[in-house]
Amino acid sequence: MNVLTLEAPAKINLHLAVGAKRPDGYHEIESVMQEIDLCDLVSVTRAPRAAGQHIAVHCSDPAVPCDRRNIVWKCAEAFFRAYGIAEYDIFIDIEKHIPSSAGLAGGSSDGAATLKALNLLFGIRADRDRLMQIGASVGADIPFCLAGGTCLCRGIGERVTPLAVPKPSWAVLVAFPGGGISTSEAYRLLDTSPAASFSSPDMLLTELRSGRLPSSLFNDFERVVLPRHPGAAALRDRMSSLGASSVRMSGSGPSVFGLFPALSDARRARETLLADGIPAWAAKPL
Ligand code: ATP
């Protein structure tokens, strides 16, 4: 086997509370992340013979860098370093469907898929915890992307606890209003805004355990990002008017998601957003 194609699913944050800035500059967070079936496709090819170290990346989205800045490249280097693999020749092809810089962890998920693929292609048999450790050295969302499902994420997001909740029966409509604020800028805005009390996900966890459509969604970034992003704020209102039971921004934005009782409801609302010229996707939680 020398080619492997894996799906790389997006995530949404059902709950995202940001705490204090640590001495190392990162922020403590508490987040409930949910994997959804809006996926990139990542194909990793291993050349049978390698002399030296060679990585090449191609991405269907021309806005995503295909050099060392790509998260898949960083994950591949971290993987080879971790296992002392000195000779490799790989090609990583990313078919992008998840909008990038949107708060949906598209890049992190591509990185997680790359780690899984390399683990198989190089016959390493690392367990998931070890891959999560390697992933965490590249990005805080990568361990969740390796775990998938519904998880409570703490630390800077890298301490992942899978939640034993029934598989959600509800559906998600995700939409991207364009533009945006970088994640580092969003954290900076939070640091300079009046502190809010650290919100707990307890209500949400009770709702998730009961299997009903959750309504206790929370995202700390909304209070600093939405006032500066009228497009995202308007999209929140639009989704509510289209029947979403709860609407929130995902991650540091600017994508917005709404929850619907069934996929058919989310698909109907999607058609309306598409007719308005807003990129949108109806998805199921995984
Ligand atoms: P998160 O929710 O984890 O904060 P995000 O959805 O906001 O992530 P990503 O799409 O994961 O953002 O990545 C955004 C940045 O990473 C952009 O600057 C982009 O150029 C860069 N990047 C590197 N590799 C990738 C990749 N494989 N896919 C998308 N963006 C990538």
Q: CA–CA separation, 37 vs 128, rounded Å?
A: 20
Instruction: Please check the confidence at residue 112 and state whether its pLDDT lies above 60.
Output: yes
Cα 206 to averaged position of ligand 1 atoms, centre (Å): 31
- Per-residue pLDDT, 20: 83
Inter-residue contact 46 to 5 (CB < 8 Å): no
Q: CA–CA separation, 16 vs 104, rounded Å?
A: 13
Helix and strand element counts for the chain (H, E): 9, 11
Residue 231, token pair as written in the block: 């497009």
- Per-residue pLDDT, 261: 96
Using left for φ > 0, alpha for ψ between -120 and 50, and beta otherwise, residue 149 falls in: left
Please, which pLDDT band fits residue 166 given cuts at 50, 70 and 90? very high
Enumerate the domain spans of the chain: 3-162, 171-283
Protein residue whose Cα sits closest to atom 29 of ligand 1: 107
CB of residue 255 inside a 6 A radius of ligand 1: no
Name the one residue in this structure whose structure tokens are 């998260």.
Answer: 71
Mean per-residue pLDDT for 144-151?
97
Mean per-residue pLDDT for 103-129?
97
Q: CA–CA separation, 175 vs 273, rounded Å?
A: 8
Angstrom CA distances, 230 to 120, 179, 234, 235, stand at 45, 11, 6, 8
Inter-residue contact 96 to 40 (CB < 8 Å): yes
Mean per-residue pLDDT for 258-283?
97
Report percent pLDDT > 70 for the chain: 100
Mean per-residue pLDDT for 254-279?
97
- Per-residue pLDDT, 49: 87
Cα 105 to averaged position of ligand 1 atoms, centre (Å): 6
In a 3-state reduction of DSSP, which class is residue 106? helix
Q: Per DSSP, what are the bridge partners of residue 175?
A: 256, 280
Residue 239, token pair as written in the block: 């989704």
- Per-residue pLDDT, 50: 84
Instruction: Please check the confidence at residue 54 and state whether its pLDDT lies above 80.
Output: yes
The secondary structure element, H or E, covering residue 94 is strand 88-95
Cα 211 to averaged position of ligand 1 atoms, centre (Å): 31
CB of residue 251 inside a 6 A radius of ligand 1: yes
Structure confidence by residue, pLDDT tens digits, 202-252: 999 999 999 999 999 999 999 999 999 999 999 999 999 999 999 999 999
The secondary structure element, H or E, covering residue 5 is strand 3-21
CB of residue 117 inside a 6 A radius of ligand 1: no
Ligand 1 atom closest to Cα of residue 109: 11
Residue 114, token pair as written in the block: 């790359």
Catalytic residue positions, numbered: 11, 141
Instruction: Please check the confidence at residue 61 and state whether its pLDDT lies above 80.
Output: yes
Structure confidence by residue, pLDDT tens digits, 184-199: 899 999 998 877 777 8
Give the amino acid at 180.
G
Residue 274, token pair as written in the block: 């598409």
We find that the CATH architecture of domain 171-283 is 2-Layer Sandwich (3.30)
Inter-residue contact 259 to 170 (CB < 8 Å): yes
- Per-residue pLDDT, 34: 98
Ligand 1 atom closest to Cα of residue 108: 11
Q: What is the dihedral of CA 204, 110, 41, 16, to 10 degrees?
A: 20
Mean pLDDT of the chain, nearest integer: 95
Q: CA–CA separation, 182 vs 262, rounded Å?
A: 32
Please, which pLDDT band fits residue 182 given cuts at 50, 70 and 90? confident
**E strand segments, 170-283:** 171-175, 218-219, 246-249, 256-260, 280-283
- Per-residue pLDDT, 123: 95
CB of residue 143 inside a 6 A radius of ligand 1: no
- Per-residue pLDDT, 181: 78
Q: CA–CA separation, 144 vs 164, rounded Å?
A: 15
Q: CA–CA separation, 147 vs 151, rounded Å?
A: 8
Name the one residue in this structure whose structure tokens are 């390697």.
Answer: 134
Name the one residue in this structure whose structure tokens are 């929850």.
Answer: 259
Q: Is the domain defined by 3-162 classed in CATH 3.30.230.10?
A: yes
Protein residue whose Cα sits closest to atom 30 of ligand 1: 107
Among candidate residues 15, 35, 20, the one with its CA nearest the CA of residue 155 = 20
Please, which pLDDT band fits residue 1 given cuts at 50, 70 and 90? low
